[in-house]
Amino acid sequence: MICKISHFNKKLKIKYCTAAMADFRNRKHSSPFLLVYFLLIRSLFSTAADTITASARIRDGETLVSSNGVFQLGFFSLNNSTNRYVGIWYSNIPVPTYVWVANRESPLTGKNGALTVMAPGALSILNGTNGTVWSSTLTAPSPIPNPIAQLLDSGNLIVKDVNGDRFTWQSFDYPCDTLLAGIRLGWNYVTGVETYISSWRSEEDPAKGEYSSHVDPTGYPQMVLKKGDAFRYRIGPWNGLRWSGAPDTSNDPTYSVSLQMTRDEVRYTEGRVGDSVLSISRLDPNGEGVRSTWNDRTNSWTRYTNVPADNCDSYGLCGPHGSCNVGTSPSCGCLDRFVPRDPESWGRTDWSDGCLRRIALSCNGDKFLKYSAIKLPDARNTTYNVERRSLVECQADCARDCSCVAYTQLNISGDGSGCLFYHGELIDIRVMASAGQDLYIRMAASEPGGVASTSGNGGNRGRTRTIVIASATSVVVVVFVCVILVCVYGRRRKSDPIVGLFSATTHVKEAELPFFSLPTILKATDNFSNKNKLGEGGFGPVYRGVLEDGQEIAVKRLSKTSRQGVNELRNEVMLIAKLQHRNLVRTLGFCAQGEEYMLIYEYMPNHSLDLTLFDKEKSRLLDWQKRFDIINGIAKGLLYLHQDSRLRIIHRDLKASNILLDADMIPKISDFGLARSFGGNQTEAQTRRVVGTYGYMSPEYAIDGLFSVKSDIFSFGVLVLEIVSGNRNRGFLLKDHNLNLLGHAWRLYTEDSSRKLLDPCLDEAFDLGQVERAIHVGLLCVQNSPDDRPSMSSVVFMLGNDVALPQAKQPGFFTERDISIDHSSSSSNPTASYNELTITWTQGR
Ligand SMILES: *[C@@H]1O[C@H](CO)[C@@H](O)[C@H](O)[C@H]1NC(C)=O
Ligand SMILES: *[C@@H]1O[C@H](CO)[C@@H](O)[C@H](O)[C@H]1NC(C)=O
Ligand SMILES: *[C@@H]1O[C@H](CO)[C@@H](O)[C@H](O)[C@H]1NC(C)=O
Ligand SMILES: *[C@@H]1O[C@H](CO)[C@@H](O)[C@H](O)[C@H]1NC(C)=O
Ligand SMILES: *[C@@H]1O[C@H](CO)[C@@H](O)[C@H](O)[C@H]1NC(C)=O
Ligand SMILES: *[C@@H]1O[C@H](CO)[C@@H](O)[C@H](O)[C@H]1NC(C)=O
Ligand SMILES: CC(=O)N[C@H]1CO[C@H](CO)[C@@H](O)[C@@H]1O
């Protein structure tokens, strides 16, 4: 065994044992003496080297470790292949995660390779006969005589002169599929070299695949994901804070993004605040951009965003001047004041031709119409002006130039400054649920003024929205608020949003979901006997049943109120059934007989969360660890609905009675995806109703009927505070104030005594840090403004990692409403959960 100790800079820097060390790892069980010897050597040289000198080489089996111990460089194989690669991975986690591969296109074929640094400063991988299979390019203008290679704490492998800091090369300039904090994507205009991310060909082959991710500086810089040379997904132009189409991460305490633009380069970087968390952004071989963080508790990577997330993320889906909205059907529409270029193909849901202005431009007295809450269109055909200019000045500049078809604020940070001017066609616009921007589009002088619809799909004008609260059991029907809004929509929709979206894009085979015959169900539920009734959910009664083979099931009889056709309904049910996640109730099958529809679910022995949580006796069984696990489980289920399922389901009625518990107390969300097709009584063909539950509804939803993922997040926040405190939000009363649970939690939080919110029935066995974190996250979710609320991915991240959290702002709906409500539901009544007040939002046309 040879151990080398090299000196340089008069400091003992390199301590590593060649060859033998690795062999020992493989053979260490062969002799106890060798094992002891190995451990002795390892303790002597406990600091693994992070550097290779010119005289040394790293052989297959040896590794370098960065001085913070986070990254490791060495040789590896993927699966059973004999191909060997040199790469960098995380050294302290059990899941192999390769963040960089040197010879991705030219693997070694055996285990006799070596990595060396040679003058004048190149890093090379040699094979068994000293042939060079890969070599770094020389980027330094002049050679350096004594190069060394060093693996830095950031995961960057650099080649530099032994006596200086001058780099000749760094791996961060040649990233593979992973964007680590500190990698600078973009262009060096001086050398013409681009730094970009490219996917692996497959999980077993790190060679360059067909997907890549770039900062495209054409026009104004935007981030794009390409398949080959074609745009697949465009995150949008930089707006001073972020890419225009990216979620607002300014309130994500752990994540920062920045763009530097100079005459010589344009560079985008992502940063992590705090070292405690491992985090990567990766472009996977299927072309999905995935951001994940390492979770020590589960010993796995938690995905918490992925793009493209839905249909509307497909580049240019709706053609020029089209606008995509996942919430409408069909998802493509023309921008307000635009009409399909070819109505016939548009009718066939072929949107590629896009739309035209209703009234052509004349460049004479044209005006501008504001379109809000959108992702800015493709910025390749733009010009810009970075001076401090107001919107009014931008408009004047755009009006003077007949080729300018639209303008917007270039930089929306601070008071805003600069202008971005669009030329040519406006393409790849989508409606954003939050963090959208405004675009001012040029209109002919004769076009009537007003405000542009943001729905993107047009509609009639003069729509009235009425909100009605109806109690499912009591006769009390309170007219809650009547809000009369003048909304401008374009043409009428043909069918319900989600159905159209799916039927346009998905062909569902019937055989995929088991069909149960009505006699089977009748037998299982004893003719829907009352003793088998579990309760009355939002969409109809639920019965327990036992199949002939003894399997227990739950049967939901959907109210016969949907206005959709049978086939559409069936399609939709099957799509919902395809959503599968550990924290969603699994659909076992369905049953259709005439107009009657039934969904068959797995049976949950521990029933709904409210029955345990709000019961004085049973709630003792929910210790803190169980509660925290339930919160985390719900968060993951909801994250899946919001982003991972690719259908972007907004639940709209998240509440304790919709969380079911299995035998191991694992929470499962139920009733997801039903709101759109079974949203209550639909007798009038043209009435759209949205269902929610008082106490869980966000202000913008209850008052304006505006729903988005952020309204679900509000409900989730309420649920978190309920789980921590063991109290319902609705009907929560304390003698000394008239705050509801949210208000009470907020008050305790501002007094720095959040822990008093914790359910007093819990014993001392809890982790106070976790309790406070859960309350803090809950309060962030119920903030009054939807934009302030974190996304579900941030929530999962903040719950799972010990990171600093932003200050919570005042919650919405934090006092008990001064309207009379039926408080008859009590926690000891087992059917209480089904008697909750339900608010129905009616949209007349
Ligand atoms: C290796 O093979 C297994 C089993 O076929 C597969 O699940 C895994 O994704 C493959 N790839 C890697 C990189 O382990
Ligand atoms: C790898 O090889 C082992 C043994 O030869 C075999 O059992 C296993 O299925 C192989 N895995 C893959 C992913 O090929
Ligand atoms: C490769 O080069 C190393 C170092 O120069 C030398 O010791 C070794 O013998 C060479 N191997 C072959 C096969 O030439
Ligand atoms: C080593 O690489 C050289 C040059 O790439 C090649 O000619 C030679 O065949 C390789 N030797 C082995 C053993 O693969
Ligand atoms: C950009 O817009 C101009 C002005 O309308 C048009 O002539 C040109 O073809 C467009 N260029 C591209 C690349 O779309
Ligand atoms: C639906 O509402 C109408 C009036 O709005 C009512 O007459 C009808 O009975 C309701 N149907 C159901 C199934 O609740
Ligand atoms: C808290 C609670 O009710 N737990 C029950 C969940 O279901 C299992 C299996 O039916 C029971 O053993 C638990 O007591």
Verify whether ligand 2 is closer than 6 Å to residue 683 (CB atom). Answer: no
* Closest C-alpha to 745, from 716, 730, 724: 724
* Span from the CA of 605 to the centroid of ligand 7 (angstroms): 7
Q: What are the phi and psi torsion angles at 732 (to 5°)?
A: -75, 125
* 413-431 average pLDDT score: 90
Pairwise CA distance, residues 217 & 240, whole Å: 15
* Closest C-alpha to 355, from 491, 228, 488, 500: 491
- Asked if residue 616 has pLDDT above 50, the reply is yes
Q: Which atom of ligand 6 is nearest to the CA of 561?
A: 13
DSSP 407: E
Kindly report, residue by residue over 134-184, the tens digit of the pLDDT.
998 766 566 677 889 999 999 999 998 887 777 788 999 999 999 998 999
Verify whether ligand 4 is closer than 6 Å to residue 127 (CB atom). Answer: yes
Kindly report, residue by residue over 448-483, the tens digit of the pLDDT.
876 676 544 443 222 222 222 223 223 222 222 222
Share of the chain above pLDDT 70, in %: 75
Smallest-distance ligand from the CA of 131: 4
User: Which residue blocks in 705-767 are alpha helix, DSSP H?
Assistant: 709-725, 741-750
DSSP assignment of 97-151, as one string? Answer: -EEEETTSSS-BSSS--EEEEETTTEEEEE-TTS-EEEEPPP-SSS--SSEEEEE
Which of 111, 129, 130, 135 is the best mutation target for the ligand 4 pocket, counting ligand atoms within 8 Å of the beta carbon and taking the most? 129
* Max intra-chain CA distance, the chain: 93
* Span from the CA of 681 to the centroid of ligand 6 (angstroms): 6
Q: How confident is the model at residue 629 (pLDDT cuts 50, 70, 90)?
A: very high
Verify whether ligand 1 is closer than 6 Å to residue 80 (CB atom). Answer: no
- Asked if residue 6 has pLDDT above 80, the reply is no
**What is the assigned CATH class of domain 496-602?**
alpha beta
- Asked if residue 561 has pLDDT above 90, the reply is no
- Asked if residue 794 has pLDDT above 90, the reply is no
Nearest CA to ligand 1 atom 9: 203
Average pLDDT, the chain: 77
Q: Fill in the amino acid letter for 100.
A: W
Smallest-distance ligand from the CA of 477: 6
Lowest-pLDDT choice from 274-283, 365-374, 562-571, 665-674: 562-571
| Residue 161, pLDDT score | 83
* Span from the CA of 537 to the centroid of ligand 6 (angstroms): 17
Nearest CA to ligand 4 atom 3: 131
| Residue 841, pLDDT score | 35
DSSP 162: T
| Residue 590, pLDDT score | 82
- Asked if residue 568 has pLDDT above 70, the reply is no
Ligand 7 pocket residues where CB is under 6 Å:
605-606, 612, 621, 663
Verify whether ligand 5 is closer than 6 Å to residue 403 (CB atom). Answer: yes
| Residue 10, pLDDT score | 30
Verify whether ligand 6 is closer than 6 Å to residue 561 (CB atom). Answer: yes
* 788-801 average pLDDT score: 88
* 663-687 average pLDDT score: 61
How far from 826 is each of 125, 320, 728, 739, 834, CA to CA, in Å?
A: 72, 56, 10, 19, 11
Smallest-distance ligand from the CA of 118: 3
Smallest-distance ligand from the CA of 97: 1
- Asked if residue 845 has pLDDT above 50, the reply is no
* Span from the CA of 27 to the centroid of ligand 3 (angstroms): 26
By CB atoms closer than 10 A (0-12, 13-18, 19+), residue 18 is middle
CATH 1.10.510.10 maps onto the chain at 609-813
Verify whether ligand 3 is closer than 6 Å to residue 131 (CB atom). Answer: no
Smallest-distance ligand from the CA of 132: 4
Q: Which atom of ligand 2 is nearest to the CA of 79?
A: 13
* 370-391 average pLDDT score: 91
- Of residues 817 and 569, more confidence is placed in 569
Kindly report, residue by residue over 354-369, the tens digit of the pLDDT.
999 999 998 888 889 9
For CA atoms 143, 149, 151, 152, the dihedral sign is negative
Nearest CA to ligand 2 atom 5: 80
- Asked if residue 98 has pLDDT above 90, the reply is yes
Q: How confident is the model at residue 502 (pLDDT cuts 50, 70, 90)?
A: very low
| Residue 565, pLDDT score | 59
Nearest CA to ligand 4 atom 4: 131
What residues are labeled active site? Answer: 653
Neighbours of 682 (CB within 10 A): 19
Q: How confident is the model at residue 251 (pLDDT cuts 50, 70, 90)?
A: low
Which of 468, 683, 687 is the best mutation target for the ligand 6 pocket, counting ligand atoms within 8 Å of the beta carbon and taking the most? 683
Query: 322-324 and 429-431 as β-strands: parallel, antiparallel, unpaired?
Result: parallel
- Asked if residue 87 has pLDDT above 90, the reply is yes
Sheet holding 193-195, edge to edge: 193-195, 185-188, 265-272, 255-261
Nearest CA to ligand 7 atom 7: 663
Nearest CA to ligand 4 atom 14: 127
Reduced to 3 states (helix: H, G, I; strand: E, B; else coil), residue 488 is: strand
Kindly report, residue by residue over 33-61, the tens digit of the pLDDT.
444 444 444 433 434 688 988 778 899 99
* Span from the CA of 83 to the centroid of ligand 2 (angstroms): 15
Per-range mean pLDDT, top range of 179-188, 253-262, 829-838: 179-188
Which residues, listed in sequence order, are joined to residue 375 by a DSSP beta bridge?
430
Pairwise CA distance, residues 736 & 811, whole Å: 19
* CA 43, chain centre distance (Å): 43
- Asked if residue 65 has pLDDT above 70, the reply is yes
Lowest-pLDDT choice from 60-69, 432-441, 700-709, 724-733: 700-709
Which residues, listed in sequence order, are joined to residue 186 by a DSSP beta bridge?
195, 267
Verify whether ligand 3 is closer than 6 Å to residue 130 (CB atom). Answer: yes
Share of the chain above pLDDT 90, in %: 40
Q: Which atom of ligand 6 is nearest to the CA of 683?
A: 1
By CB atoms closer than 10 A (0-12, 13-18, 19+), residue 154 is middle
| Residue 285, pLDDT score | 95
* 233-247 average pLDDT score: 89
Reduced to 3 states (helix: H, G, I; strand: E, B; else coil), residue 768 is: helix
Q: What are the phi and psi torsion angles at 635 (to 5°)?
A: -60, -40
Kindly report, residue by residue over 288-345, the tens digit of the pLDDT.
998 888 877 778 887 777 788 888 889 999 999 999 987 676 788 999 999 999 998 8
Nearest CA to ligand 5 atom 9: 424
Encoded tokens for 586: 């699994």
CATH 3.30.200.20 maps onto the chain at 496-602
Q: Fill in the amino acid letter for 459.
A: G
Lowest-pLDDT choice from 215-219, 407-411, 598-602: 598-602
- Asked if residue 744 has pLDDT above 50, the reply is yes
- Asked if residue 624 has pLDDT above 60, the reply is yes
- Asked if residue 687 has pLDDT above 80, the reply is no
CATH number assigned to the domain with residue range 609-813, chosen from the 4 options 3.40.50.300, 1.10.3210.10, 2.40.50.140, 1.10.510.10: 1.10.510.10
* Span from the CA of 217 to the centroid of ligand 5 (angstroms): 16
Q: Which atom of ligand 3 is nearest to the CA of 126?
A: 1
Kindly report, residue by residue over 697-724, the tens digit of the pLDDT.
887 777 666 677 888 999 999 999 999 9
Verify whether ligand 1 is closer than 6 Å to residue 79 (CB atom). Answer: yes
